[in-house]
Structure 1
Amino acid sequence: MSSRFPNINPRKLFVRTPFSYEKLPSADSQTSSPLFGAPSLKSWTKRNPFSDRLRRPRMSFARIVMLLVAAVLLTSMIATGIVRKHRWSSDHRKEGQQKFRYHWEHYPKLSGVWNGIRTIVPYNDWVPEQEYIIKAETNGPENPVRQKWPPMSKDHKEPPIDPIPFNPYPDTSSVEYLSQYEKVETCFLDQEEKVDLPDIYAYPGIPQNYTAPFFGSIEEMGMNHKVCFDRFGRFGPYGYSYSREEGGLGMSSKSEQAGADKIWSWEKKIDYRNVDWGSAQKRCYEKNKIRFRKNDTEAKEEKSEDDPPEKKKLPRHAYILRTWTGYKYSDYQILTIRAMINELALKSGGEYDVHFLLHVKDDSLPIWSSEEVYRKTIQDNLPKEFWGMATLWSEQQMKMYYPEPFPNNVYNHAKAPVHSVYRSAHFAMQWFAQVRGEYDFYWNWEMDMRLSGSYYEFNNRIGEWAKNQPRKGIWERSSRYYIPALHGSWKNFTELVEEETFNSDEQPVWGPPKFENTGMLPSPQEAYPKDLYLNDNYEWGRGEDADIITFNPIFDPAKTNWVFRDDVSGYDLELPEPPRRCAIITVSRLSKRLLDLMHRETYHMKHHMFPEMWPPSVAFHHGLKAVYAPHEVYFDHNWPLENIDGVFNHPPKPTDSVFGWGEHNQLGNSFYYNAGFSSELWRRWLGSRENGKGGTEEEEAGSGRLCIRQTLFHPVKHEQGAD
């Protein structure tokens, strides 16, 4: 979002919660106090009964003038000194504020993520930077810890090991797989089926002393945690590292590239100039559609009594890129989108379809009544290779689909119309799920997201991990950041959260919550628990697909001063505000069931909330399964573990929450709406020089280009490589 605080009314920034707030003493209370008050002249004279008898000798006029001049000079000197001192203090205070504006900037900087490809060691030899620091401090300067670097020399600059093809897909040709699922038909980039799909490459190791993430664990979610990706292995097969004359993008000529050509020993260069990704997706699905679930009507029509027992059917996913007219697609963005389509849709045998949900900003364009206008709008606003993948929408269209009024708004902080994309980005997602209802899940993805590893591994493993999560304690666990170095295993974290919940004043979430209202849609019957909370042994919900997966914790906005917490419409203002949940950044995976409920709540009930609140709140109200996926998040400062847990998971009062006035704590990490470290790390990985560091010369003179683990980045507003 371009701005999160437009036209804010300061009086509305105070939180409506049972928490009490600290108040500063007023000026009146200070001056009325005997500690601050001054005695009057009248009271002084009463305490000096002989004052009327005191007599002073007369002064001469010359002496009076001299005294006045001296007083003026003395006053001037004192005033000048005070001003100079004030200026000096002010200047130095400003310097200090610029250097350390926030408390976390006092923590030491971490630098392990900048260790290059020449320092790669096998995973079992890897010592995280934080662990190395602790060992070094424990041993002291007299007995230093020696780093286990691979041998490096000026003459030999290639990585110590070679990259390998990265394959996160199941062995679809195995007897075990084919006994449960239908055969996967191979997909190709061209209609003649002569152009094979490209592979990506990873290095089987980690740069020594590479920084460990503070939040999340790809190991916990079943991803390959023993490899790292450089820019050549990740994007080379999509055209990054060969010329435009060969059908690539020719972006690597100025980059440090020792050993990068080894991938061409196995990989063929693809001419992308004539690739039609939309057609390739459709062909892939048509070849494999027997593998996927059908709706009830289709299944009944095709089912015969003589048919053999069906094999397991897989769900389908719509992977939706929310874009808009006028958006500029850089070469780096094109590489990212090619990776998404190839890895999610084609190499999976049609499990995903990638879509562009393109917002037409000009409401006067008749996109719903003119095929010519529709086609031209796409061609003017998307690279040609993606033309066949776009669906257009406009705010004017949403006004007709979800007509006003949306009454009883508590407070519109944004001062924007309810149909504006800023307040209702979810309208287009709900509408898309109604017109394209053939999918089981819809990924709501933003254009400033980046991923260093495989899209299929990341999305597939997260979905499977969420599916295996039990319902008991799920909302409570999802409201906290998982800090492996502090919390230990996920099992230990689960037990810790249960203990914290038991010792708190709050009741755990167990099915749809009860709250006062004047009209709600019925919740699905399967959303109600079959047993008491205490009787459940973390069984209910295991094996159940999550209705919403978020990438930041799902918190209660009423316990924070998050600025949009009261943007709630359609509920009775005579009653307390409905309970709400929120996850910052609208990026998420949403089930068809949840999107249908969101649509009906909007259309029939006229219920509405700010986009980051609406999907989690509907899931909360109707007892659906909601999961925060603890992916890895890196920090650029070495926070003490107890401090980071206290700040992010246990703020002492609502105004300290990191989802509100405390959002500055997120600046130094790799994933949040305002994370500054995110784009710095991403661009350094691409070979750019950032803040006077990195770039080709430094990489060549040092440990080489960066090689980073599977990491999700947000936001990346612009990209730049080696120059």
Structure 2
Amino acid sequence: MQTMPVDMLDEIRSTSEYWGGLMGLRQQGGPLETMEEIIKQEDEDEMGLGDFEFANETDVPPHWLDYKHLDGYFYGLKALVPYSEYTPEFPLEAGQESPHPLTITYKGMPTPAPFVPHPDYESPEYTTEYYDVKTCYLDPEDKVHAPDLYAYQGVVQAQAQPVIGSHNLLGMREDICWDRFGRYGPYGLGYSFDEGGVSEGMDTENAGSGTVWSELGKIDYSLVDWADAQERCMDKNIKRFSPPDQDQSLSTLSSTMRKDDDQVPLPWTSFQRGERRRIDTRRKKIDRIAVVIRTYVGFPWTQHAVLNFRAMISELSLRSGGEYAVHFLLHVHDDTMPIWADAETAQRVLDENVPPEFHGLCTLWSEAQMRLLYSGDFGETFENPSGQGIHGVYRSAHMPLQHFALTHPQYAHFWNWEMDMRWLGNYYELFDRLGVWARNQPRTELWERSQKYYIPHVHGSWENFTALVHDETEASGRRPVMGPVHFAGRQSVRFEEQGQSFLPLSCAPGSDPALCGVGEDADLITLNPIFDTEESGWVFASDVTGYDTVFDIPPRRSAIITASRLSRRLLAVMHEETWRMRHSMFSEMFPATMALHHGLKAVYAPHPVFIDREWDMDVLDQSFNGGRDQTTSGHGSPYDLVNEHNHKGASWYFNSEFAGQLWRRWLGFAQWDGRGPDGKGTLRGGREEEEREGGTGRMCLRSMLVHPVKWERPDEGPEL
């Protein structure tokens, strides 16, 4: 068991009480009486909101209430069609006719097939270029394989297309869908505790679900130790991986401005290992990636949460031969607990807060540790709307993550993840494709592309979108960002003091701008646009600490929701800015701003986001790209408190209600559809509806990120 400090922010700043008019902060007190209040308080305690909540300042209803709800998401497997025959309910292309009324030509329950998004590790192409991959197992005797997932070939007729982002753009399959058993059956859904499952999904419609256990049977997970399995997998495949950073040096490939051979070492990786390995004539080694999941004392673990993280470890770590590793960062709120001095105390914390199968993956941390690690006076703050301390998880979740990276030199990148996120699909496909796509993005006008939502129905192809951003940038008169930015009071990190640059050689003067940064791993990958916070109306836009307030506030960028991938060198810069310069910013702003200040590569990856209503697509573009120069930045930003309500019906945003509702319906639970005048509507879904004569069966959705999922079983949520 590790006992190093680290954390991730759960930036859910409100739950279903936050609905979507003009929002403000107001004080609230009193006892907690409903489950909704308990869930809300758990979130706010973890984030440091304390007694604050978001409240309405107007009774004007959101404009999107006028749009019709979409129904296609909730059709089931009996409406499955080949992708070539699929017509979405929304948005329709010119000349397309609506698939309603839906005609079902049901010919029997379709059969799913294993879906493997990993490379073919046994192919000559792979083994010629990379080291062999040894098979990893769940058990020490190497008898129980990590299971396959099962997907259905085709898409449910009339299911909506994503309105933001694209599967195809990122290299993800858009022609398959997932039911609950194909996704989670291999990890224990659909069979009892006595059989080694989780005793969930057994009372839902399950026609044809037995296929997912046809190869390996129902795996008994009762004795699985995930930390041991992950460690054994890494040990078997140790030859595949780039070694941990031991020389502490900086590669000459990091800079086109190298002055001399003298270097001041930092406690971090050689920054351009990715470029260095590509010129190696031997078989290539690969970098390892950590997925770091923030949890906390008191988090309400459920069996569905257990399924989700079994899936993550199996798909990312074991099935990849150890390329990824999963860690949990357990925030211990009580600073007086001797979790480092006494092993029994640390074990008791684990026993009371984490399922035994995940104990060995946990790292304990506390805010008291952060005050010791990053000690001293941080100086003045421009604004601190939350009133929280600089070392707290709410304002500075990056501090423990920086320390985690410092103490784990075996990883080149770190995915910052949260407990209430779900990926409906295979985790390897998600993280691998995001990394590959980001690596292939040129730096030229990358900041400008990354501040705008990509809406295919409005913007057309990615090439059209890129050209549009170029034209809008020229029309704005603003100079595109390239390399580090300079401002009054800016300080250089030691790497820069040596005259070195974080720009790769492909960006050297005279190089082709279209190739600048292509092939360079991204230092930051975000899952929402990276926007300029100045005049954006975002409540934490000026939460900036440690800079000389005699000067103007520094330029800033932010990405809402801290889920992101950070490189070791970005975390190195953040660490030095924190300990040496006593600089910090709000958790969602610090990584992107440090990348901006120092010229690191930051990318917004436009993953597929779905919406619950039939929006006018031009209005959707105006609502989500309504900021300065038709972006998410500046005045009119979608992250202004008066505009954030537009995300309520999206599948990915901290205040979404659609995300949780869609997820629970997909799991087979009946849900109030929210379509009535009282906001409650009709109870829809569940076993009765999925099994009824003339129905379409259980849902099958394409891959998507879903956030937030605050509960799964109806009896876990608030009373209605």
Name the TM-score class by shorter chain: 0.7 to 0.9
> Structure 1 counterpart of 2:348, which letter?
K
Shift of 1:671: 0.4
Cα gap change, 1:376 to 1:310, in 2 (>3 Å): farther
Cα gap change, 1:544 to 1:200, in 2 (>3 Å): same
Give the aligned partner of residue 239 of structure 1.
Answer: 188
Shift of 1:388: 0.8
Residue deviations 1:20-62, cap 9 Å, x none?
Answer: xxxxxxxxxxxxxxxxxxxxxxxxxxxxxxxxxxxxxxxxxxx
Of 698, 706, 717 in structure 2, the residue corresponding to residue 705 of structure 1 is 698
Shift of 1:416: 0.9
Whole-angstrom CA distance in 2 between matches of 1:227 and 1:333: 24
Whole-angstrom CA distance in 2 between matches of 1:351 and 1:451: 19
Cα gap change, 1:131 to 1:582, in 2 (>3 Å): closer
Whole-angstrom CA distance in 2 between matches of 1:213 and 1:2: 23
Whole-angstrom CA distance in 2 between matches of 1:576 and 1:337: 44
Shift of 1:145: 6.7
Confirm or deny: 8 A CA contact 1:132 1:209 kept in the other structure. Answer: no
Give the aligned partner of residue 554 of structure 1.
Answer: 530
Residue deviations 1:549-596, cap 9 Å, x none?
Answer: 000000001130100111101111110100000000111000000011
Shift of 1:135: 5.4
Confirm or deny: 8 A CA contact 1:278 1:386 kept in the other structure. Answer: yes
Of 608, 621, 639 in structure 2, the residue corresponding to residue 632 of structure 1 is 608
> Structure 2 counterpart of 1:223, which letter?
M
Shift of 1:201: 0.3
Of 124, 130, 150 in structure 1, the residue corresponding to residue 90 of structure 2 is 130
Residue deviations 1:197-232, cap 9 Å, x none?
Answer: 111100000000110110000111001111000001
Asked if 1:455 corresponds to 2:427, the answer is: yes
Q: Looking at CA atoms only, which structure, 1 or 2, has the larger radius of gyration?
A: 1
Give the aligned partner of residue 376 of structure 1.
Answer: 348
TM-score by length of 1: 0.82
Shift of 1:341: 0.4
Residue deviations 1:670-721, cap 9 Å, x none?
Answer: 0011111110111110011111211111111211111000100111111127
Give the aligned partner of residue 44 of structure 2.
Answer: none
Shift of 1:394: 0.1
Confirm or deny: 8 A CA contact 1:518 1:572 kept in the other structure. Answer: no
Confirm or deny: 8 A CA contact 1:634 1:669 kept in the other structure. Answer: yes
Give the aligned partner of residue 719 of structure 1.
Answer: 712
Of 653, 662, 668 in structure 1, the residue corresponding to residue 649 of structure 2 is 668
Give the aligned partner of residue 688 of structure 1.
Answer: 669
Matches within 5 A, 1:179-194: 179-194=128-143
Shift of 1:107: 1.7
Residue deviations 1:173-193, cap 9 Å, x none?
Answer: 111111100000001100011
**RMSD between aligned residues:** 2.5
Asked if 1:346 corresponds to 2:326, the answer is: no
Asked if 1:564 corresponds to 2:557, the answer is: no
Confirm or deny: 8 A CA contact 1:116 1:207 kept in the other structure. Answer: yes
Whole-angstrom CA distance in 2 between matches of 1:326 and 1:365: 15
Give the aligned partner of residue 388 of structure 1.
Answer: 360
Secondary structure of the corresponding residue to residue 546 of structure 1: coil
Whole-angstrom CA distance in 1 between matches of 2:164 and 2:13: 26
Of 587, 611, 616 in structure 1, the residue corresponding to residue 587 of structure 2 is 611
Confirm or deny: 8 A CA contact 1:279 1:388 kept in the other structure. Answer: yes
Shift of 1:651: 3.5
> Structure 2 counterpart of 1:237, which letter?
P
Whole-angstrom CA distance in 2 between matches of 1:559 and 1:608: 20
Asked if 1:493 corresponds to 2:447, the answer is: no
Shift of 1:487: 1.1
Whole-angstrom CA distance in 1 between matches of 2:510 and 2:585: 33
Cα gap change, 1:542 to 1:367, in 2 (>3 Å): same
Whole-angstrom CA distance in 1 between matches of 2:225 and 2:248: 31
Secondary structure of the corresponding residue to residue 464 of structure 1: helix
> Structure 2 counterpart of 1:366, which letter?
P
> Structure 1 counterpart of 2:707, which letter?
H
Give the aligned partner of residue 105 of structure 2.
Answer: 151
> Structure 2 counterpart of 1:527, which letter?
F
Asked if 1:117 corresponds to 2:110, the answer is: no
Cα gap change, 1:149 to 1:439, in 2 (>3 Å): same
Confirm or deny: 8 A CA contact 2:532 2:634 kept in the other structure. Answer: no
Matches within 5 A, 1:301-380: 310-380=282-352
Shift of 1:648: 1.1
Secondary structure of the corresponding residue to residue 515 of structure 2: coil
Whole-angstrom CA distance in 2 between matches of 1:150 and 1:162: 17
Asked if 1:641 corresponds to 2:617, the answer is: yes
Cα gap change, 1:522 to 1:580, in 2 (>3 Å): farther
Whole-angstrom CA distance in 1 between matches of 2:371 and 2:245: 32
Of 499, 502, 508 in structure 2, the residue corresponding to residue 527 of structure 1 is 502
Give the aligned partner of residue 93 of structure 1.
Answer: none
Give the aligned partner of residue 58 of structure 1.
Answer: none
Confirm or deny: 8 A CA contact 1:317 1:440 kept in the other structure. Answer: yes
Whole-angstrom CA distance in 1 between matches of 2:346 and 2:425: 35
> Structure 1 counterpart of 2:700, which letter?
C
Secondary structure of the corresponding residue to residue 319 of structure 1: strand
Q: Which structure carries more relative contact order (alpha carbon 8 Å, separation 6+)?
A: 2
TM-score by length of 2: 0.82
Cα gap change, 1:476 to 1:423, in 2 (>3 Å): same
Cα gap change, 1:169 to 1:579, in 2 (>3 Å): same
Whole-angstrom CA distance in 1 between matches of 2:79 and 2:572: 50
Confirm or deny: 8 A CA contact 1:182 1:291 kept in the other structure. Answer: yes
> Structure 2 counterpart of 1:658, which letter?
P
Whole-angstrom CA distance in 2 between matches of 1:232 and 1:721: 19
Residue deviations 1:460-502, cap 9 Å, x none?
Answer: 0110000000001111111011111111111111111011101
| Aligned length in residues | 618
Give the aligned partner of residue 521 of structure 2.
Answer: 545
Asked if 1:284 corresponds to 2:233, the answer is: yes
Shift of 1:657: 2.0
> Structure 2 counterpart of 1:559, which letter?
E
Whole-angstrom CA distance in 1 between matches of 2:201 and 2:584: 48
Shift of 1:536: 3.9
Confirm or deny: 8 A CA contact 1:345 1:354 kept in the other structure. Answer: yes
Whole-angstrom CA distance in 1 between matches of 2:567 and 2:637: 29
Give the aligned partner of residue 208 of structure 1.
Answer: 157
Whole-angstrom CA distance in 2 between matches of 1:529 and 1:663: 37
Shift of 1:295: 3.8
Give the aligned partner of residue 167 of structure 1.
Answer: 116
Whole-angstrom CA distance in 1 between matches of 2:87 and 2:714: 29
Confirm or deny: 8 A CA contact 1:8 1:414 kept in the other structure. Answer: no
> Structure 2 counterpart of 1:185, which letter?
K
Give the aligned partner of residue 101 of structure 1.
Answer: 61
> Structure 1 counterpart of 2:381, which letter?
N
Whole-angstrom CA distance in 2 between matches of 1:688 and 1:700: 13
Greater helix content: 1
> Structure 1 counterpart of 2:328, which letter?
F
- Which residues of structure 1 form unaligned runs of 5+? 11-96, 138-143, 301-307
Whole-angstrom CA distance in 2 between matches of 1:185 and 1:414: 49
Confirm or deny: 8 A CA contact 2:12 2:654 kept in the other structure. Answer: no
Shift of 1:148: 7.1
> Structure 2 counterpart of 1:291, which letter?
R
Most deviating of 662-671 and 686-695 = 686-695
Cα gap change, 1:722 to 1:603, in 2 (>3 Å): closer
Whole-angstrom CA distance in 1 between matches of 2:509 and 2:554: 23
Give the aligned partner of residue 659 of structure 1.
Answer: 639
Shift of 1:250: 2.0
Confirm or deny: 8 A CA contact 1:687 1:721 kept in the other structure. Answer: no
Residue deviations 1:490-539, cap 9 Å, x none?
Answer: 11111110111011021100110111115332565343477689974411
Cα gap change, 1:197 to 1:136, in 2 (>3 Å): closer
Of 422, 429, 438 in structure 1, the residue corresponding to residue 401 of structure 2 is 429
Cα gap change, 1:191 to 1:508, in 2 (>3 Å): same
> Structure 1 counterpart of 2:453, which letter?
Y
Identity %: 46
